[in-house]
Amino acid sequence: DAGVIQSPRHEVTEMGQEVTLRCKPISGHDYLFWYRQTMMRGLELLIYFNNNVPIDDSGMPEDRFSAKMPNASFSTLKIQPSEPRDSAVYFCASSFWDRGGDEQFFGPGTRLTVL
């Protein structure tokens, strides 16, 4: 398996533009998580899905952020309009729950810079 795939790996955009980050989870995994990592705040959970359904979006900072999971193999995180303070590395992770635990497998991340 190729692991969790994220695209793009790097994104540079100007303030006010729409940004869409993409994630393909590991096949067979039923959980998908979106995280944001900054030096100041560390790794923060934004939203997670179970079987394509959003379960908890309490970490989404503002209405400018939205996430969708139209099917089991694809999810998007959209920021509209983007602001400089959104600059961070965004990670997608997926997992499959079983009795042994629920290790999350992380993608390589998307480094977003908003100018």
Partner 1 sequence: SQELEQSPQSLIVQEGKNLTINCTSSKTLYGLYWYKQKYGEGLIFLMMLQKGGEEKSHEKITAKLDEKKQQSSLHITASQPSHAGIYLCGADMNRDDKIIFGKGTRLHILP
| Residue in 1, 42, 62, 71 binding partner 1, rule: CB under 8 A | 42
Asked if residue 101 binds partner 1 (CB under 8 A), the reply is yes
| DSSP bridge pairs for 90 | 36, 110
Do 112 and 88 contact (CB within 8 A), yes or no? yes
Backbone phi and psi for residue 77, each to the nearest 5 degrees, phi listed first = -120, 120
CB nearer to partner 1: pick between 65 and 90: 90
Q: x/- contact string, 13-32, with partner 1 (CB under 8 A)?
A: ------------------x-
Considering only residues 59 through 98, tell me which ones interact with partner 1, judged by CB under 8 A.
91, 93, 97
* Of the candidate residues 23, 107, 112, 114, the single one contacting partner 1 (CB under 8 A): 107
- 43 binding partner 1? (CB under 8 A): yes
- Name which of 22 and 111 has its Cβ closer to partner 1: 111
Q: Does 51 bind partner 1 (CB under 8 A)?
A: no
R_g of the chain computed on alpha carbons: 14
Question: For partner 1, which residue of 13, 20, 22, 50 counts as binding (CB under 8 A)?
Answer: 50
